[in-house]
Structure 1
Amino acid sequence: MMHIRPWSRMPTQWIADGRIKLLTWKEDKAAGTAALVLFVALCHLAVERAALPRVQTRRVPGTVRSAPARVFSQYAAHLQTMPPRPPVPVQPEHGFVQAALDASGLAAIEERPEGAVDYIAHASYDQLGHLTGLSRKLIAAGLTLLVQQLMIERVGSARSGDYRIQDLEPGYRWAKLPGQALLSAGRTSFEPLTRFDLRSKYALAAMKLYCYYASARDSSTAYSHPSFETSFERTGVAERDIPRANSLLLSVGLLAMYHRPSFAEGDYEDGGDEEGMAILSANRYYMTGYKSFFAKGRGGRPAAAQGST
């Protein structure tokens, strides 16, 4: 049994810069779903540690790229490595954090400021399997994808089981992910994560939307409410697939509920008459465990806690 907090930090840079769009059913199949399932689990397992020197990074404007294969050669003994992908063009305003190589072709090492911290998750393959229900093969494939997209970085030896969550340094935005509310009765697994049919493309779509909904929530609000069009633009999930992916999130238990507000509730995205506003308003998405986002104020009333930075 592991200690899981009510909520944990998830970096959102990988969503903002378009890396989320690189995880596709056509390219990745079940490994893409496994990658995001593992990422959620690792975010919940991560704890603060004193920062160690790390591979230097830079931002590459206009193109999302896989990290150079030689930077990740150290993982070959641990993971079933996948071939690096060719550059994929994205919107000009998007950038991507990529390992910078020096003239010798080796990764440069960046010294960290005094007092800096890293968020490190420690978990063996067996522990990740129990928490997520994934096979060892899918765990290896999912971790490889996360490494290639610079969402995690292995710390220490190839078999240490330590993973740094990338982009949680000061100045980067982050979102809250509910944790304790997802645990099984015995607190041995994240039960909703174990319920996915990994043979379905909608499972990958659902995990992408789940992470995006977390990132799109205002820190003072219990729900997020992006439109289908915005969700497609941010995640690459086709609008026609969103209803089924939402239903899947609800059925496995990652979403507590979602609904379209009535006219009386207000908060519509478009103007017009009552009937028009009811049709054009966006769904409100409440993550299972959303009440954990807020601290109890005086009198037992919920007081807004900081949701993201």
Structure 2
Amino acid sequence: MRILPWVKMPALWIKAGGLRDFGWANTSNVSRSSAIAALQLYIALMTVAEEDWRTDGCKLVADITYSGLMRITNLSRQLVAAGLEGLVKAGRITSEKQGRKCRYLITGYDFSGNWCKLPARALYIPLKHTLIEPFQLFQKRSVCELDALKLFLYFAFARDNKTPYTMASFETICEKTGVPEKRIPRANAFLINCGLLANLSREHSEDVKKKEPNKYFLRGYRELFVGQQAITPAPAA
């Protein structure tokens, strides 16, 4: 398993509003704690996935066990199972058997384009790189936590490749993620508190009647401009 400074995340599903598949209502495609677990697992799988060239093209594959996912995310085995099932249901991954092992294919991956940068190495506890540090504050019982994960993925998608931050209005965030505008401030506060956001800058326009969008700096935003040299995690204690 290798941890890179940043990884390529498929972007078209977020552009198409795929984050709306994960909601708090029981009628959502993937709901409540299963939705929280699913998005945490998606982030975790992205950080360890590698390109696999096959006869039918390049696939993005995560080769990791249940125990490995439990360790990285701090999720129970039951939530890992529910989260993976949710990702399959939402069309974000497929699974394949390799002997007794199960590998996870990230759907929608196009190595030539239509991807965005997702921070990877900076998400892990420094030096050890055995678990994603911000996930330790998630209780998996709050809609705010689900909103925060959806916003984090959206901010990664919406950032252009020239600036270290994402600018987006509440209206646009709501449209793409399904998170109501009135819940966005609380989700942003949780992102800051858990460390998935490094900074949130509120801009002030010279026109007092015009409200400028916030600037969102993802955890590890400085590493989004460096090469993808890999590091090997230290063995778990």
Within the alignment, does 1:289 sit opposite 2:220 as a pair?
Answer: yes
Within the alignment, does 1:200 sit opposite 2:142 as a pair?
Answer: yes
TM-score by length of 1: 0.69
Find runs of 4+ consecutive structure 1 residues off by over 6 angstroms.
none
Within the alignment, does 1:7 sit opposite 2:6 as a pair?
Answer: yes
For residues 82-101 of structure 1, the aligned pairs below 5 Å read none
TM-score by length of 2: 0.89
User: By how many angstroms is 1:42 displaced?
Assistant: 0.4
3-state SS, counterpart of residue 127 of structure 1: helix
Rounded Cα–Cα distance in structure 2 between residues aligned with 1:215 and 1:158: 35
Rounded Cα–Cα distance in structure 2 between residues aligned with 1:148 and 1:217: 27
Paired residues, what number?
Answer: 222
The answer to whether the 8 Å contact 2:49/2:63 transfers is: yes
Question: Which of 256, 268, 275 is residue 208 of structure 2 equivalent to?
Answer: 275
Over 3 Å counting, the alpha-carbon distance change for 1:159 and 1:212 in structure 2 is farther
Rounded Cα–Cα distance in structure 1 between residues aligned with 2:226 and 2:4: 13
3-state SS, counterpart of residue 215 of structure 1: helix
Match of residue 192 from structure 2 = 250
User: By how many angstroms is 1:276 displaced?
Assistant: 2.1
**CA distances 1:88-123 after superposition (whole Å, capped 9, x unpaired):** xxxxxxxxxxxxxxxxxxxxxxxx2xxx21111011
Match of residue 101 from structure 2 = 160
3-state SS, counterpart of residue 187 of structure 1: coil
Rounded Cα–Cα distance in structure 2 between residues aligned with 1:6 and 1:165: 19
Match of residue 67 from structure 1 = none
Amino acid paired to 1:227: S
Within the alignment, does 1:222 sit opposite 2:155 as a pair?
Answer: no
Rounded Cα–Cα distance in structure 1 between residues aligned with 2:212 and 2:176: 18
3-state SS, counterpart of residue 155 of structure 1: strand
The answer to whether the 8 Å contact 1:9/1:44 transfers is: no
User: By how many angstroms is 1:293 displaced?
Assistant: 1.0
Higher relative contact order (CA 8 A, sep 6+): 2
RMSD: 1.7
Rounded Cα–Cα distance in structure 1 between residues aligned with 2:123 and 2:112: 29
Over 3 Å counting, the alpha-carbon distance change for 1:50 and 1:231 in structure 2 is same
Amino acid paired to 2:80: I
3-state SS, counterpart of residue 226 of structure 2: strand
For residues 34-73 of structure 1, the aligned pairs below 5 Å read 34-51=37-54
User: By how many angstroms is 1:48 displaced?
Assistant: 1.1
Contiguous gaps of at least 5 residues in structure 1:
53-111, 264-272, 297-309
Match of residue 122 from structure 1 = 63
For residues 231-246 of structure 1, the aligned pairs below 5 Å read 231-246=173-188
Rounded Cα–Cα distance in structure 1 between residues aligned with 2:54 and 2:24: 35
Rounded Cα–Cα distance in structure 2 between residues aligned with 1:235 and 1:212: 7
Rounded Cα–Cα distance in structure 2 between residues aligned with 1:159 and 1:260: 51
Rounded Cα–Cα distance in structure 2 between residues aligned with 1:11 and 1:142: 19
**CA distances 1:186-230 after superposition (whole Å, capped 9, x unpaired):** 211011123212111100000001000100000111111110000
Rounded Cα–Cα distance in structure 1 between residues aligned with 2:196 and 2:217: 9
Rounded Cα–Cα distance in structure 2 between residues aligned with 1:159 and 1:285: 42
3-state SS, counterpart of residue 168 of structure 1: coil
Amino acid paired to 2:191: L
Rounded Cα–Cα distance in structure 2 between residues aligned with 1:208 and 1:258: 16
The answer to whether the 8 Å contact 1:13/1:172 transfers is: no
User: By how many angstroms is 1:295 displaced?
Assistant: 3.1
User: By how many angstroms is 1:251 displaced?
Assistant: 0.6
Question: Which of 121, 134, 137 is residue 75 of structure 2 equivalent to?
Answer: 134
Rounded Cα–Cα distance in structure 2 between residues aligned with 1:51 and 1:20: 29
